[in-house]
Amino acid sequence: MEYTELADYPVPAGRITEWIPTVEPDRWQSDDRPLSPNHTAHLYNSESAPDSGDLGLGSWIGTAFRLPGDFDHSVFAAVLRAWIVRHDAFRTTVTRRGDTHARVVAVAESVTISARVQQAPPPGVGVDRHLERFFAREVSAVRWPHVVAVTIEPDSPIEAAKGVTVIVAADHSVMDAYTQLLLIAEFREIHRALVEGRAPALPSCGSYVDHCAREFQAAETMTADHPAVQAWRCFLTTDDGRLQMPRLPLPTQPTGAVADGAGWQSSISRWLLTAQETNGFAAACKNHGASMSGGAFTALAVAIQRLTGDSSFRFVMPMHTRTDPQSLAAAGWYVGLVPVDLSLEGAETFSAALTSVSNGVRRHAALAHAPHPRIASLLGITEAPRFAVSYVDGRHVPGADSWGDRDRALRSRIHNLDEVYLWINRTHEGINISLRFPNNEIATTSIHALLAEFRAVLLEVADRGELALDAGAPTERTVSTTRSAERR
């Protein structure tokens, strides 16, 4: 399972059908359950975001996968409808009431599915570009539907025998990374059940709308002296007293002016370890009393140290907030942010660093449940995270053992000049890393150097079970960097 942009996914040539949920205007009902702070902040950001111009790529996340078996349009419409009916996240939207947003919901019976069969894209327009335009046009934070789908029935008989390609795209307000992964098994099971004439064998799921209300209430109780606010204040305070998000401690910006086209971020997906190598790395971590995730963050810290000479680095980590059985199967945006400050100070070996790094990752994990938009408001900051690192173990997601090379999590292209995001993913196939970063030669050099060092550390620990840390000044592998005021 990889996490890439749509342009990096091998979309087959074939018959394209666009699938759009519909609800008659008079079937929407007012709902007094408030929006989550994440949702509200996302709405205001979406309303104030500059238009992407002729590129029109929009902002969405989604999933591509194969749906095996004979493809029947009426059956797929029923599958998509059943999936949307199952999750109330997809049957809610907002309306404007003055300067605020109000929630409205659609009852399950009111949802229908509209299908549009498309002709081949015009000459010079690739299938992926055609789909990007469709998703950009149809998926929005400020209007319903917030989720759509396309199917591609391959022209190739060989490809067609493997199934139809399905791509689902949604606004982030109703979908997170776990939703992206969960939906593959849900679609396949609903499809099998409809074909076989039985009820889908799926676990019950909770209400995302109820979760939003609980998150709103949690935010309302927070004041400036709340421990979560104080922890973030300490994390963001620089040597000169400013509050600033940490950056990747490697060069990412050219000294001169940046061309407008450079604003579209670069994207990489790379397999760092095979399944066998990953098992070796995980075994080494376990032998030293640590988890695989702790080992991955330690390896990343060692790679940063090799390139910069610094024994510590900081980043923001997204963490899921699915803590009860009902939320585990629910679609929605169950994500909080955690400040992470890691140090290798005094550690001479990988095993010695594991404890301090693992503790650093866990130290503020509970803050994921403290809504970050409320914290940012209390601190008076508007800056979004500039350097974020995520770790997901997808092996235990329902259906993970059946994922194939055409099953993939997707994201739209992002227009940003200075953000660096890393997603470390463990699957049955090994360890994959996905990144987005500034589209310039300086940042590209830094990212490739970081990937090389990260992989080298992972491989050595997987092979030998241990690693001696480089102390003092960085080695010849160093990427030249200047210590910035935000580093503490």
> Residue type at 356?
S
Angle subtended at Cα 295 by Cα 292 and Cα 299, rounded to the nearest 5 degrees:
140
Furthest C-alpha separation in the chain: 68
474 belongs to a structural domain:
no
- 385 and 287 in one domain? yes
- 199 and 237 in one domain? no
- 206 and 80 in one domain? yes
**The domain boundary residue, chosen from 211, 244, 266:** 211
CATH of the domain at 97: 3.30.559.10
Range of the domain at 156: 2-211
- 425 and 288 in one domain? yes
Cα–Cα distance, 300 to 447 (Å, whole number): 12
Q: Which distant-in-sequence residues (6+ apart) come within 8 Å of 443 by Cβ?
A: 251, 252, 253, 266, 420, 437
- 175 and 136 in one domain? yes
Domain count, the chain: 2
Contact in structure between 278 and 350 (CB atoms under 8 Å): no
- 143 and 7 in one domain? yes
- 306 and 199 in one domain? no
The pTM assigned to this predicted structure is 0.93
Cα–Cα distance, 416 to 247 (Å, whole number): 14
CATH of the domain at 257: 3.30.559.30
| pLDDT at position 256 | 67
114 belongs to a structural domain:
yes
Cα–Cα distance, 316 to 303 (Å, whole number): 18
Contact in structure between 311 and 303 (CB atoms under 8 Å): no
Conformational region of residue 213, where left means phi above 0, alpha means psi within -120 to 50, and beta covers everything else: alpha
**Sequential pLDDT tens for the chain (488 residues):** 999 999 999 999 999 999 999 999 999 999 999 999 999 999 988 887 655 444 445 689 999 999 999 999 999 999 999 999 999 999 999 998 888 889 999 999 999 999 999 877 666 567 888 899 999 999 999 999 999 999 999 999 999 999 999 999 999 999 999 999 999 999 999 999 999 999 999 999 999 999 999 999 999 999 999 999 999 999 999 999 999 999 999 999 987 655 545 578 999 999 999 999 999 999 999 999 999 999 999 999 999 999 999 999 999 999 999 988 889 999 999 999 999 999 999 999 999 999 999 999 999 999 999 999 999 999 999 999 999 999 999 999 999 999 999 999 999 999 899 999 999 999 999 999 999 999 999 999 999 999 999 999 999 999 999 999 976 556 555 555 443 333 33
443 belongs to a structural domain:
yes
216 belongs to a structural domain:
no
Tokens describing residue 366: 């509970």
